[in-house]
Homo-oligomer: A and B are copies of this chain.
Amino acid sequence: MSILTVGTMAFDSIETPYGSVEKVIGGACTYISWAASYWCNEINLVSIIGDDFPEEEVRILQKRGVSVEGLVRVKDKKSFYWSGKYHNDMNNRDTLVTDLNVLAEFDPVLPESYKTSQYIMLGNLTPSVQQSVLNQLVGKPKVVVLDTMNYWMDVALDELYEVLRKVDVLTINDEEARQLSGERSLVKAANKIHSFGPKFLIIKKGEHGALLFHDGQIFFAPGLPVPEVIDPTGAGDSFAGGLIGYLARTGDISFNNMKTAIIYGSTMASYCVENFSLNRLKTLKHEEIQSRLNQFRDLSSFETRELPPIQN
């Protein structure tokens, strides 16, 4: 089953306590496509780049089953550029530079062959661009996953509400869930957000893991403690890529399978942070993915025994 992924392809300059890199490959769509490519080799990519983006990076994606018919390369313009610096705790970062460049004119047009894609992953973008992609689909896809952020809640809330009506799975962080719902309790926030459209709400909490809410049920995916987080950039998008990839591979969007998909997403995120840019994601082996999945299972499983009550 084919995946449609829409989002940025970019250059990032990143500073973390472990070092810094200049103008390395980044962007939501890049991370999503790489992470998803371990489960699915029919990925329809929609993005925009300038003529500074290396052709080799596009070619290796194609070799992994990614169609780039929907990738627009703009002559004499630069690719989207982001630069940021992480604080010591790696949970917070400051944006130093955001140069939209070609992204300012991103108005995605789906090639005919993309329009019946069944697994839709909309990376964090202007809600009206996300909406426009959904409007071009023919028929109802199996699942629509949307990523967004607090910025769009501040500046384009009405457009965000509009697109959310067509979304099955929303991925945001805990503060964003509170902002979007106006509720302090995440349980109440989830109920309210379900009423906006998304039947599934995934709350990403970084090193603290992720929560899945659906129809009164809750799943908690742990964060895997790792010896060193080198660079958290792209972790959320790697998570999304693993999630949509696994859903497409299994064709099952039940609550039960969504749990496992989240663990696969967490697995990709946990590898992503081990190195800068896509360096680690590009070299993964299937055995490594499976062995980390087992680590996640061991991490949160425990035994219960029946204990007769004592007399007080």
Contact between A209 and B220 (Cβ–Cβ < 8 Å)?
A: yes
Instruction: Tell me whether A280 is interfacial, beta carbon within 8 Å.
Output: no
Q: Using Cβ atoms and an 8 Å threshold, which residues of chain B touch A218?
A: 225, 299
Contact A300–B220 (Cβ < 8 Å): yes
A9 within 8 Å of B by Cβ?
no
Complex Cα distance A228/B191, Å?
13
The reply to whether the CB of A140 lies closer than 8 angstroms to some CB of chain B is no
Report A240-280 CB contacts with B as 1/0, cut-off 8 Å.
00000000011000001101101100000000000000000
Residue of B nearest to A286 (CB): B309
Whether A141 is near chain B, meaning CB under 8 Å from some CB there, is: no
Identify which of B17, B185, B304 contacts A226 (C-beta below 8 A): B185
| Interface membership of A211, Cβ < 8 A | yes
- Bound-state CA distance A263–B301 (Å) is 10
- B-side contacts of A187, CB under 8 Å: 225-227
Contacts of A186 in B (CB 8 A): 225
Q: Min CB distance, A202 to chain B, in Å?
A: 13
Chain A positions 179-193 with a Cβ under 8 Å from a chain B Cβ: 184-188
- CA A304 to CA B286, docked complex, whole Å: 15
Say yes or no: A188-B227 contact (C-beta < 8 A), given A310-B39, A310-B40: yes
The yes or no answer to A108 lying at the interface (CB within 8 A) is no
Q: Would B220 and A185 count as touching, CB distance under 8 A?
A: no
Interchain CB contact under 8 A, A41 and B208? no
Docked CA distance A301–B303 (Å) = 12
Kindly list chain B residues whose C-beta atoms are within 8 Å of the C-beta of A257.
303
Nearest CB of chain B from residue A291's CB, rounded to whole Å: 12
Kindly list chain B residues whose C-beta atoms are within 8 Å of the C-beta of A223: 220
What copy number does this chain have within its complex? 2
Number of interface residues of A (CB under 8 A): 56
Given contacts A256-B303, A307-B249, contact A209 B184 (CB under 8 A): no
- B209 and A222 form a contact (CB under 8 A): yes
A65 CA to B309 CA, complexed, in Å: 14
Across the interface, which residues of B come within 8 angstroms of A263, CB to CB? Answer: 302
Chain B CB count within 10 A is highest, among A222, A302, A305, for A302
Contacts of A309 in B (CB 8 A): 286
- The 8 Å CB contact of A63, one of B293, B297, B312, is B312
Cα-based distance from A222 to B219 in the complex (angstroms): 9
Q: Can you list 10 A-B pairs, Cβ within 8 angstroms, ordered by A?
A: A39-B310, A41-B310, A185-B229, A186-B225, A187-B226, A188-B227, A208-B209, A222-B222, A260-B304, A300-B300
Q: A219-B302, A220-B299, A293-B304 are in contact. List 9 more A-B contacts (CB 8 A).
A: A41-B312, A64-B312, A89-B184, A209-B209, A211-B225, A220-B222, A249-B310, A256-B303, A260-B305
What residues make up the interface of A, taking CB atoms closer than 8 Å to B?
17, 37-41, 63-65, 88-90, 184-188, 205, 208-209, 211, 218-223, 225-229, 249-250, 256-257, 259-260, 262-263, 286, 293-294, 297, 299-305, 307, 309-312
